């Protein structure tokens, strides 16, 4: 029977208090999971949410195949399906010759996936996807030092529709290939660890031109802008 997992992470500051939330449904049972850390980042909580769900699967479920993980974090989905293989080959050093951020969690996530057949999907965040919205409620509740009530019971009594999704694996590739023809929502630049948003390419170019170790990218929507910032650790 197919298992659907939703995950999300949140932090109040980067770093700051954070929380994570996951919903696991195997068709018969639904269990909500979550937790809190006093000082963390959004990216770390996004990874921990996936780890929490998959470690639960490893210890509590007989299902080893037909697992779909749905996350609104491009950082998590691209990281575990693409980037991590290069990081492992290169001794956890990035193409920019830097140590991989959050290596401890990436190694835990790799371990948590072993023996499981998983399809990773990226869904739209804050777009009315019920499973994602519920994980966000759990994650932000823990980040705010509350104690969300977590469901653990039969799937037929769970009131949230986990079948609804907004986008699936491959969306990022399509956006990348066609973004040059889409009108820019903003331009982002990262210089000396400081992120800035620009309305025009000229403003962005003036900040990054001739400066080593910078990052810059065009966003095509508010969600895309947020995803880019997240992938840079903000």
End-to-end CA distance of the chain: 37
Q: Which of 32, 37, 136, 224 is catalytic?
A: 136
Of the candidates 65, 23, 62, the residue with the CA atom closest to the CA atom of residue 163: 23
Q: Which of 86, 99, 119, 126 is catalytic?
A: 126
Clarify whether 131 is annotated catalytic.
Answer: no
Read out DSSP for 79-147? IIIIIHHHHHHTTSB-TTS-BPTTHHHHHHHHHHHTT--EEEEE--TTSS-HHHHHHHHHHHHHHTT--
Clarify whether 107 is annotated catalytic.
Answer: no
**Cβ–Cβ contacts within 10 Å for residue 67, how many?**
22
Q: Which of 72, 224, 225, 227 is catalytic?
A: 72
Clarify whether 136 is annotated catalytic.
Answer: yes
**How far, rounded to the nearest angstrom, does the alpha carbon of residue 176 sit from its chain's CA centroid?**
18
Nearest-angstrom CA–CA distance, 136 and 148: 11
Clarify whether 9 is annotated catalytic.
Answer: yes
Q: Which of 9, 19, 79, 141 is catalytic?
A: 9
91: left (phi over 0), alpha (psi -120 to 50) or beta: left
Q: Which of 26, 32, 46, 227 is catalytic?
A: 46
Please identify every residue annotated as catalytic.
8-9, 46, 72, 126, 136
């Amino acid at each position: 029977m197919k298992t659907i997992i939703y995950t999300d992470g949140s932090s109040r500051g980067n770093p700051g208090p954070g929380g994570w939330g996951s919903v696991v449904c195997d068709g018969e049972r639904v269990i909500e999971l979550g937790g809190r850390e006093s000082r963390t980042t959004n990216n770390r909580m996004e990874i921990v949410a996936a780890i929490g769900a998959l470690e639960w699967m490893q210890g509590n479920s007989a299902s080893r195949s037909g697992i779909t993980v749905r996350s609104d974090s491009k950082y998590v989905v691209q990281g575990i399906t693409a980037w991590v293989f290069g990081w492992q080959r290169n001794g956890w050093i990035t193409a920019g010759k830097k140590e991989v951020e959050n290596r401890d969690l990436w190694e835990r996530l790799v371990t948590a996936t072993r023996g499981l057949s998983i399809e990773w999907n990226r869904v739209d965040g804050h777009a009315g996807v019920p499973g994602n919205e519920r994980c966000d409620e759990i994650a932000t509740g823990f980040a705010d030092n509350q104690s969300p009530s977590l469901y653990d019971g039969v799937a037929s009594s769970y009131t949230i529709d986990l079948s609804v999704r907004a986008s699936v694996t491959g969306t990022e590739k399509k956006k990348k290939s066609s973004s040059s023809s889409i009108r820019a929502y903003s331009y982002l630049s990262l210089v000396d660890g400081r992120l800035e948003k620009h309305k025009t390419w000229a403003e962005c170019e003036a900040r990054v031109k001739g400066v080593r170790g910078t990052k810059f990218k065009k966003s095509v929507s508010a969600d895309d802008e947020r995803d880019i910032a997240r992938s840079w650790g903000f």
